[in-house]
Amino acid sequence: MDYIAVQGFWVCTIVGAMSLVFLTLTGQPITGFVIFLLFHLGGVGVREHNPFAAAIMLVYYVVDFVASIVFVFANSPGIGVIKIIIIALLLSNLRATWIASGWRADSEEASLPPRMGETLADKFSDKWPAFIWPKIKWLYYVFSFGCLVLIVTGLVVRALRGPHV
């Protein structure tokens, strides 16, 4: 179960980093940084087995996927196999986090393997989340919900305005 949490951390962090790069290249570095923070810190929450973080990461990616289909499908022949794979990975993270949240703290299933810190990747995926998540958890809840409201509102306004010529 811990392997899935580490995988979720890396998926979210990579999606956030790619968003940062692509949005910076298109002249939107502030939006890129906000999206990077959103996904990286969501990945930190997934790594720490937080059901809210796992759910919000899945919701964000599904909203992005649906918006891509609705707004870009007319201009693009495909819907993106990579996006479908990432949604499946995020769904498995949500499922694993949800299952793990129901375990008793003293049960054998709830015991986690020791966190490694031998390599830089180990420190980044094992030590960093355990250090930062307790400090930013509540701030992340507000930040991620606020971003979700802004994104969905923007998509609704865009849909109501119709296509621009």
- In the chain, where the domains are located: 2-100+115-161
Looking at residue 110, its pLDDT comes to: 46
pLDDT in tens, 29-67: 999 999 999 999 999 998 888 889 888 988 888 887 777
HSE-CB at 80 with a 13 A cutoff on CA atoms is 18
Q: Residue 143 — very low, low, confident or very high, per pLDDT cuts 50/70/90?
A: very high
Looking at residue 67, its pLDDT comes to: 74
Q: Name, in order, each residue with C-beta under 8 angstroms of 35's C-beta and a sequence gap of 6 or more.
A: 16, 19, 20, 23
Looking at residue 1, its pLDDT comes to: 55
Looking at residue 73, its pLDDT comes to: 58
